[in-house]
Amino acid sequence: MLSRIKALFIVFQFSCTVAVVIVLMYSFKKHVHKIIKVWMKMQMMFLGIKLEIVGEIDNSCDMLLMNHRSVMDIVIMEHLHSRHLAWVGKKEIDDLFLFGHIMRAPEMITIDRHNKTGLMKLIKESKDRLSKDRPIAMFPEGTRSKGDNLLKFKSGAAIVANKLNLRVQPVVLINTKSIFDSQGLRAKAGTVKVIYLDPIQANRKTKWFEEMEEKMNIIYNKEVNSI
């Protein structure tokens, strides 16, 4: 019961602050990243999240790839990363009333997965954001996984990384859904484990993407089974 009440409170405050943040981002476009950082810090405080960090973040990488279980994945990585990330999301998010501006105002990247030109748009917009010193942040699973295993990685991230010759840092996030489950409306304070893997230089001549997926799966399964 308390878990559901806390989740409802989080949804309420998040919805209220979204409107304020959107107005601020449109009004002070030169300070969008600072606005996001303050907002994320506030979310971390409301949620009572503690972090256990394994490995080191490499802020020089051009792309960040993570597993996806909860909206908290975005909150945590925005809180931790020092640069202005360009998140890749589904067009359906962009089409949402009010919440769509969370993607539009900070010029994130949205793609239509059912449109053949979606991949071309992703490459073009990724190149644009990188030229503005913004690393690309993606969930290679394509959507939130609901079970205890990672979903099969989609090829979009590999194609972009290979095409643009990117340096990639994989990240494994553990326990984010236990902190906040927006679909089941449950929330509790707790610790999220953030595991930074060694950066990888994308190269279409190697099997770096498949090897990265296998390694992330092994680490994720080991961590989940040990909880």
DSSP labels for 69-127? Answer: SSTHHHHHHHHH-SS--EEEEEHHHHTSTTTTHHHHTTT-EEE-TTSTTHHHHHHHHHH
Average pLDDT of the chain is 92
Q: Return the pLDDT at 185.
A: 75
Do the beta carbons of residue 183 and residue 147 sit within 8 Å?
Answer: no
Distance CA 43, CA 67 (A): 20
Q: Return the pLDDT at 99.
A: 84
Q: Return the pLDDT at 5.
A: 81
Q: Return the pLDDT at 94.
A: 79
| Length of the chain measured in residues | 227
Q: Return the pLDDT at 116.
A: 75
Q: Return the pLDDT at 17.
A: 92
**CA nearest 42: which of 66, 64, 16?**
16
Q: Return the pLDDT at 193.
A: 97
What are the residue ranges spanned by the domains of the chain? 2-226
**CA nearest 4: which of 195, 199, 187, 226?**
187
Positions in the chain whose pLDDT score sits under 70: 147
User: Mutual orientation of helices 208-226 and 156-163 as an angle, nearest 10°?
Assistant: 130
